[in-house]
Structure 1
Amino acid sequence: MKDFKETANTLRKEIIRMTHEAKSGHPGGSLSACEILTALYFKEMKIDPKNPKWDDRDRFVLSKGHATPVLYATLAERGFFPKEELSKFRKINSMLQGHPDMKGIPGVDMSTGSLGQGLAVANGMALSAKLDNKDYRVYALVGDGEIQEGIIWEAAMLAAHYKLDNLTVFIDHNGLQIDGFNKDVMNVEPIDKKFEAFGWNVLKIDGHDFDQIFDALEKSKQVKDKPTLIIARTVKGKGISFMENQASWHGTAPNVEQAQKAFTELGGEL
């Protein structure tokens, strides 16, 4: 468990470093998802960094495609590409652009960015596994502001209809989106009851607690004939005191003073 916590902390440092050096990016919603991606990529998912396109690998879709800092930091830490690439984030001619590119980045299973579409794509991957009699699983990370999109609910209906029990979706429920609190912009509650009404198995956890994350993942694998939604209550900007629960850090890069202060809180020097 100590190793997982240290890995999540490392991801947070890289998120700060990348967005600071690029002078752009989305740190808030990346910082809130570090434990989730750590759990998936360093324990749960069946993957091979040396063979990113392995047919029998588990798939991951970053439906909230703007949160690439956490995905890129995770892929680099897991060994899909050299960590030195992270310093090129959002730079001209870099493969690591603002949204993930499945054709250019090892380990990226789907190009995303237009919010709401990732869940539909994850459905297709999960249905494909069923049709091909494959046992790989599909995981997706969706933002809580993102579920205001209508396509999410069409995809939710389809996943239940086709009994995609090989699909597990996390909602990064930090309560904030680019222009404020979900409840003020467009209330998304009650998320659990809505998905249950659509025919999903729903679990609610603390998205920063590894024990709860691993327990929920294990439970999701025991469910038959239903997709699973894990509502992970998180903190936007998690780990950085002046960023936590601040919508302004959704898409704002830290300057040098802010980045150094963040590093001091995480332990280390920028």
Structure 2
Amino acid sequence: MFEEMRAFVAVAEVGSYTKAAEIMSFSQPTISQQVRRLEMFFGGVALFEKSGVGNSIRLTEAGEYAFASCKDMLSLLDETIEVINNKDREEVTRVRVGASHTICNYLVPKLLKLVEEELPGLEIITTIGNTKKICSLLDKGTIDLGLIEGRDMYFPFVRQNFYEDEMILIGSPYLATLISDLKPATLSRQAWIVREQGSGTRQEQMDFMRTMRLSAHQIRMCHTNGENIEMVANDLGLSLVSRLSAENSLALGKVVEIPLKKRFVRNFSYIYREGSSLWESEQLSHLFALLESF
């Protein structure tokens, strides 16, 4: 029946049995018979009618519907044939990757470029969320690999650090002039901007405030790195953020870095469930090597 569909689609596209026969290298009677067989298959309904202009024909209402459906079925058939018959096609391994915000925005694009260049048989499908969400997705099997910022994994996954991320203190150009020193009393007079619960960045922000013995008079919460930095730029408070996320705003002068006496860093990690058959792929070991090259 697929050959009858091909004949029907060809006639519908050119509006002529004769032209369709020429394109398909068949006789005109053969094309006409194939279309009639398809009409019988559909219960004897007419698929074409005369258009009233010369010998041209046009689709009936039923033909219009059949044309769209046949096109879809033939397209799927051709795609299936191509996949099955292409013996030399490289097998594609699909990996569903969930990444927390900073990693997804600033490192995943670089990772995708490297994968495209060095691992053409590997397809990466990405999802973004905070550390807690990524761990939950991995536990449910919705993703295969997690890239997280937070220290808390929430589940006993296999974990490997792959990148050291520097955290910096930022303020608006105006608020920065009010910071004469890094004493707790000075810093506590300012409002502080932090990320939402479950965010790896929030863990670092709250640890920093405890380390600096701050008792902030006001804490404002946000849900993304971009929102975090925009709030700082608009004089709404100070914040500890990843240098990766602040680079553009620093370059534009929207925010300024307030130098700290010591360096604050955190590790980005990749996590996965032990025992998954996916990790037997040689491509995955290459993917881990790419991550660890950052």
What TM-score, normalized to structure 1? 0.25
Q: Rg bigger for which structure? A: 2
Higher relative contact order (CA 8 A, sep 6+): 1
The answer to which structure has the higher strand fraction is 2
